[in-house]
Structure 1
Amino acid sequence: MVNIKELVDRYQSISYMVNRRINALMRDQLQEEVTLDQFSVIRYIDSQGASTSTELSEVLCVGKSSITALVTRLVDKGLLIRKEDEHDRRVILLALTEKGVEICRAIEERIAQLLSTYINHFEPEEVLNFINTYEKLAQLLDNERRSHSE
């Protein structure tokens, strides 16, 4: 019989250790260009084309005041611009500058090289199973977040 408490304890323990270590390794790849939180913002905006502060706050699970501070720093660094939405001038969109795109791509490449050194220790099927399971967990968490915000 599966002991749920034991599984939860194992998950919490390993999740904490892996996340802390991966985040530390990723911070090393940032080379003082941006912080890990700033990279999360530019990576998300890069994937979406543009975003609002409210959307960033929800997706990254960060307060709106924290997002405002992150965005201001990224604008000051010349990595982001604020622009009016073409369809609703009341909405301010955040988009990457060319410099922001270049830095995002360079950091993503360094992180991909770093993570591939670990992924290569597993069989392709193990990696796919892990990613599929992790995506399923992410979907469950996102569905719960959406249901609470409605």
Structure 2
Amino acid sequence: METLQLKPLIERYMSASFNVNRVMHALLRKLMPENLTADQHETLCYIRERGTCTSSELADYFFVGKSSITAIVKRLVEKDWIERRPDDQDRRVTYLALTPAGEQLIEEMQTKIEELLARYIVHFENQEALQFIETFEKLANLLVCEEEVKENL
């Protein structure tokens, strides 16, 4: 693609991305319980997806320092949404897992998010929605792959 064609596309992407993120974050905040932050929610979702993980894994995945993750984990443990599980073979390793209360919270949030997104997705034809998601996934994969390459250098 020529550079002259790229600039207006980048500007359109940046504008649309900013507006989607701004509004969606506001809508998601309204759905969340008062004692749950966006960072905590994302952390819970990651742990749910993986089953268990370590604090180091979370820090790497979210591109933040271990001290930031430690603070989030501490609050999630205090709220009884996650628990720490020592590794059977290596006591220096601690895994994080959702508690039943954490599972229930994430399940409730997932339902609310699906209902929210469905209100917007129904405005697209099936093929249009599918093409959008596939294109968006392609962008996500490119970004993730590039970051992984940078980390391994």
* TM-score (ref. length: structure 2): 0.92
Matches for 1:1-150 after TM superposition, within 5 Å: 3-150=5-152
What per-residue deviation string (whole Å, max 9, x for no partner) do you get for residues 38-62 of structure 1? Answer: 0000011011101111211222233
* Aligned-residue RMSD, C-alpha: 1.3
Amino acid at match of 1:63: G
What per-residue deviation string (whole Å, max 9, x for no partner) do you get for residues 83-125 of structure 1? Answer: 1123433211110000000001001101110110001110111
| Cα separation, 1, equivalents of 2:74 and 2:133 | 34
Structure 2 regions of 5+ residues with no counterpart? none
TM-superposed deviation, 1:144: 1.0
* Paired-residue identity, %: 45
| Cα separation, 2, equivalents of 1:61 and 1:18 | 22
| Cα separation, 1, equivalents of 2:151 and 2:20 | 29
* Cα separation, partners in 2 of 1:86 and 1:129, compared to 1, 3 Å: farther
Structure 1 regions of 5+ residues with no counterpart? none
Amino acid at match of 1:132: E
| Cα separation, 1, equivalents of 2:133 and 2:91 | 39
| Cα separation, 2, equivalents of 1:131 and 1:57 | 27
Amino acid at match of 2:51: G
Amino acid at match of 1:149: E
| Cα separation, 2, equivalents of 1:136 and 1:85 | 36
* Stretch deviating more after TM superposition (10-19 or 27-36): 27-36
Could you list the structure 1 runs, at least 4 aligned residues long, displaced by more than 3 angstroms after superposition: none
| Cα separation, 2, equivalents of 1:63 and 1:131 | 31
SS state at 1:89 partner: coil
| Cα separation, 2, equivalents of 1:120 and 1:63 | 39
| Cα separation, 1, equivalents of 2:72 and 2:115 | 26
